Amino acid sequence: MSTADIKKSADQKMQKSIEAFRNDLAKIRTGRAHTGLLDHIQVDYYGSNVPISQVANLTLIDSRTIGVQPWEKKMVQAVEKAIRESDLGLNPATNGDVIRVPMPALTEERRRELVKVVKTEAEDAKVSVRNLRRDANEQLKKLVKDKEVSEDDERRAQDDVQKLTDKFVAEIDKLVQTKEGEIMTV
């Protein structure tokens, strides 16, 4: 393994950490309804848990209401129960074979709590990126120990890994700032 391989691997893994962070941010609601909020909800479908999108059609009825239309009539109750029991604090209402999921308005206090959640998620993402930096640096030290690269090459590679880390941490901070703006906008 060369220093270029280690840097490329670290870059790819850090990119995946950012993607995971983006997915986590998408689950945090901003007051507007979007179908992505329900993506992680699992529904009991004939004895196995499947994502809600595999048993129902998700649509936006208006800016504050998500419409969920199960493909099978007998799934209406199971889908409604799964949404109600999720960690989102939503209260769905069934209207025939369509489930309406209204998004409650966010209070100022709730917005501040959501900002704290976003910052906690961001810190977790930063820790993940820093752990990847540490792993890459350990691999570089191993290359020097095995006399596969010189100490100068190792130092240059460590500087490049640090620049990568700084770039991804800055990207996390930018995502947090954007999400915080979305949450605090009334």
Asked whether residue 118 falls in the same domain as residue 175, the answer is yes
Cα of first residue to Cα of last residue in the chain, in angstroms, is 52
Asked whether residue 111 falls in the same domain as residue 180, the answer is yes
Among the three residues 67, 102, 137, which one is the final residue of a domain in this structure? Answer: 102
Look up the CATH number of the domain holding residue 67: 3.30.1360.40
Q: What's the rounded Cα separation, in Å, for the pair 164 and 61?
A: 42
Q: Which tens digits make up the pLDDT trace of 94-148?
A: 888 888 888 877 778 878 888 888 888 899 999 999 999 999 999 989 888 888 8
pTM of this structure = 0.68
Q: What's the rounded Cα separation, in Å, for the pair 11 and 156?
A: 16
Asked whether residue 74 falls in the same domain as residue 112, the answer is no
Q: Which tens digits make up the pLDDT trace of 52-92?
A: 888 888 888 887 888 888 888 888 888 888 888 876 777 88
**Total domains, the chain:** 2
